[in-house]
Each structure stands twice: as structure tokens, then as C-alpha cells.
Amino acid sequence: MEQFKCIGVTGRQGRAEASDTLTRLLQFLGDRKLSVFLDERIDNLLPGHGLPVCQRTEMGERCDLVIVVGGDGSLLGAARDLVHYNVPVIGVNRGRLGFLTDICPSELETQLSEVLEGQYLEESRFLMEAQVKRDGTLIGEGSALNDVVLHPGKSTRIIEFELYIDGQFVYKQRSDGLIISTPTGSTAYALSGGGPIMHPTLDAIVLVPMFPHMLTNRPLVVDGNSELKLVISTNNDIYPQVSCDGQIHIGGAPGDQIIIRKKPEKLRAIHPLNHNFYEACRSKLRWNYQEYSR
């Protein structure tokens, strides 16, 4: 296994818990005499740290491991920025569920010691890219590790749109929108919309209708290499939005086309040796029925 010598550190801004964990992390890395670069976005959280500061693009070019301190949202943003550089990423959880940031802060030193010594698990996670086109002209684009969502924005009215998969017409739907999720995102927004949980190593995409007008519109799982096209009907009176990971938002209009496909680059996700997807589901989704059988 690869051993890491140059470490990039990024994370969530504005929370005291994250700052405390960042301080411990930098102390730990400093004690091991490793080269460390700090994301400029969190520079102000650690006054007087004395470390070189850089943008994530430079971090991707110079580091052989990036550690994200924060919640899943923090890792989603880092993944989109770093996927082009083939640098592995690992997360220390300072959020809520922490499906992606799976190192517990209380075990930070123990678990990271094993990772830095080459004892870890590595997974390949794919991202999607979305393009919004108007009259054939690109007006916006974004990437997503979790999901791409067509939704009505601030409106409460339903959206009418058509779905095509690999050029084949699938259906015309009237609903609050559509969640298009990777396996990584299947435990996030898609799950709350009634979608299936998919193992993160699957090469598949799930489409989850949001409150469809016809109850027979159910979640649909398709091949991960499929090209999806949504056409917003010209009959719509509202201007819906396309959101990527809930962090990038593109305004749409009647007649727009949204093209969604897998990105060619993949994220290298690092986990501690004791990482287990099903255990994560049991603990974070409370599948352990014994808790409720008393």
C-alpha cells in the first residue's frame, strides 16, 4: 500500500468542533514530521499555524493525500475540486451522519496512524457531470458526487419534463422534480425520496421522482454509463433549478435541456481498515432492531 508523505488538510469553516479537531490533526501530523499544506479556506480558523497555505487545485497537484475535517458536505465539495488530480481523500467526521467522513474524532490518531503507514482500504467512487443547455448553448454546468436534482426552486408548482436515456424516450412526467443519484448519494437525498440504497461500488445510477403526479412513476436504476437527458416542457410557467450536491445551482427555463453523464475521472476514497458499509448503515440509519425490541 502507498505511504503518504505530503498531506493536504481542508475542512469546514465556522464550527468550534472542527477547529479543535483541526488543531489536533495538525499537531499529530507535525509530530510525524510530515509535509502539510493547509487549504486557504480554513486558514483563518488556525491563527499562527505557520503552515504553507494553498488553493485546493494546488493541493491536488502537490499532495499525495488530502484529509477533510467536517461533515459529508465538506467532503462533497473537496471531492469535486480534487477528482481531476487522482489524489486520495479521507474524511474526519465533524458533521452529523458522516457516511463519507468515517474517521471518528476520538480515534483520529489511531486510525490515521494506520492509514499513513499504508494500512487502509481504497474505493473508487464515480461522479456525475450535468450540463444545462438553452437553444443548443451551454448556460451552466456542475459536477456531483451525490446527486443532480431538478426541482422547482422557490416555487410550489410541479414541473413537466421528458426523460431520455441513451437517446431513447422513457416518459413524460409531472412532479416536483427528479433526483438523479450515484451509489454514493443513494443514502442521502435519494433515500429520503424513497429510492433504494445501493452499495457504493456499484456502477449504476438511480432516478427518483419527487412527489410524481402519477403514483406509478417509481425509482428507476440504470447503467452507470448511461447518458440522461431531461427536457423541460415549454408548457411550464415556472423556471426550475438544477442543483449538484445541493451546493451548485443552475437556473433553468422552459425548453432547456439537462444532460447528465458519468465523469471520466473517479474519486479515490480512503477508509480505515475497519470500514464496513453495512455497519455504517446499521449505526447511522439505526437498522439495529434490538434497540427497539425492549
Tens digits of residue pLDDT in 137-183: 999 999 999 999 999 998 889 999 999 999 999 999 999 999 999 99
What residues does CATH 3.40.50.10330 cover in the chain? 6-120+272-292
- What is the percent of the chain with per-residue pLDDT over 70, rounded to a whole number? 95
- The answer to whether the Cα torsion of 121, 67, 225, 199 is positive or negative is positive
Interatomic CA distance for residues 56 and 69, integer angstroms: 14
Residues 6+ apart with CB under 8 A from 288: 282
Is residue 291 over pLDDT 70? no
**Percent of the chain having pLDDT more than 90?**
79
Reported as type and span, the H/E element at residue 81 is helix 72-82
Cβ–Cβ under 8 Å, residues 258 and 141: no
- Indicate the SS3 state at residue 190: helix
pLDDT given for residue 96 in this prediction: 72
Mean pLDDT of 271-276: 92
Residue 234 near residue 247, CB atoms below 8 Å: no
Give the E-state strand segments of 12-78 in sequence order: 35-39, 53-54, 65-70
Residues of the chain with CATH 2.60.200.30: 127-263
Q: Which helix (H) or strand (E) holds 27?
A: helix 16-31
> Any bridge partners for residue 137, and if so which?
134
What does R_g of the chain's alpha carbons equal in angstroms? Answer: 20
Beta-strand relationship, 177-181 and 147-151: antiparallel
Q: Does the pLDDT of residue 294 top 60, yes or no?
A: no
Angle between helices 108-116 and 16-31 (to 10 degrees): 40
Cβ-based burial of 76 (10 A; exposed 0-12, middle 13-18, buried ≥19): buried
Which CATH class name applies to 127-263?
mainly beta
110: which strand partners?
Answer: none
Instruction: State yes or no: pLDDT of 14 exceeds 70.
Output: no
What's the confidence (pLDDT) of residue 47? Answer: 82
- For residue 224 the three cell numbers come to 452507470
End-to-end CA distance of the chain: 45
Length in residues, the chain: 294
Q: Which residues of 133-169 are buried (b: 16+ CB within 10 A; e: fewer)?
A: beeeeeebebbbbbbbbbbbbeeeebbbbebbbeeee
**Could you give the CA distance from residue 89 to residue 122 in angstroms, rounded to a whole number?**
10
pLDDT at 215: 84
Lowest mean pLDDT among 39-53, 135-149, 256-270: 39-53
Q: Looking at domain 6-120+272-292, which CATH architecture does it have?
A: 3-Layer(aba) Sandwich (3.40)
CA distance 36 to 224: 36
Note whether 5 and 64 are within 8 A (CB). yes
pLDDT of 194 above 60: yes
Catalytic residues: 72
| 216-224: average pLDDT | 95
- Rounded Cα distance, 23 and 234, in Å: 53
pLDDT digits (tens, 9 = 90+) for 83-110: 999 999 999 998 776 788 889 899 999 9
- Asked if pLDDT for residue 37 goes beyond 60, the answer is yes
Q: Other CB atoms closer than 10 Å to residue 47's CB: what's the count?
A: 6
